[in-house]
């Protein structure tokens, strides 16, 4: 409330829009969020934090399901696969799913 009263001009980073309609400040923040999500999820799977004592990567029977194939999701997938996790991706946009497959097999990250 005090901020509004002050008359300050405030801009939320995630709303800054480029002339082409893209969100240039949101994309890097989303990349970080996706990469951190796997790290945080792994920490909460630890027994001392109330988890089941599972490792995300390299253990048979442990799978990660990612719902969505956007910027955050693609970075989470990249980190999880890098850890050796078995990852299943669900998204309604088939083109986006193909983009993820193409990125993986073309060597681009």
Comparison of pLDDT for 108 and 7, the residue scoring more = 7
Instruction: Please give the model's pTM, rounded to 2 decimal places.
Output: 0.76
- Tokens at 20, concatenated: 């082409």
Q: Are 35 and 76 in contact (CB under 8 A)?
A: yes
Q: What percent of the chain has pLDDT over 90?
A: 56
Taking only the tens place, the pLDDT of each residue in 38-65 is: 999 989 989 999 988 888 877 777 788 9
Residue 107 has pLDDT above 70, yes or no: no
Residue with tokens 């405030």: 10
Which residue segments constitute the domains of the chain, with CATH numbers given? 2-106 (3.40.50.720)
Q: Report the alpha-carbon angle 31-33-37, nearest 5.
A: 120
pLDDT band at 106 (very low <50, low <70, confident <90, very high): low
pLDDT band at 14 (very low <50, low <70, confident <90, very high): confident
């Amino acid at each position: 409330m005090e901020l509004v009263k002050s008359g300050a001009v405030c801009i939320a980073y995630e709303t800054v829009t480029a002339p082409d309609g893209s969100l240039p400040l949101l994309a890097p923040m989303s990349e970080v969020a996706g990469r951190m999500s796997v790290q945080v999820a792994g920490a909460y799977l630890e027994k001392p934090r109330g988890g089941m004592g599972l490792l995300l990567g390299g253990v048979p029977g442990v799978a990660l399901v990612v719902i969505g194939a956007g910027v955050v999701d693609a970075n989470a997938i990249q980190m999880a696969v890098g850890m050796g996790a078995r990852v299943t991706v669900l998204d309604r946009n088939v083109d986006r799913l193909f983009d993820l497959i193409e990125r993986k097999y073309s060597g681009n990250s």
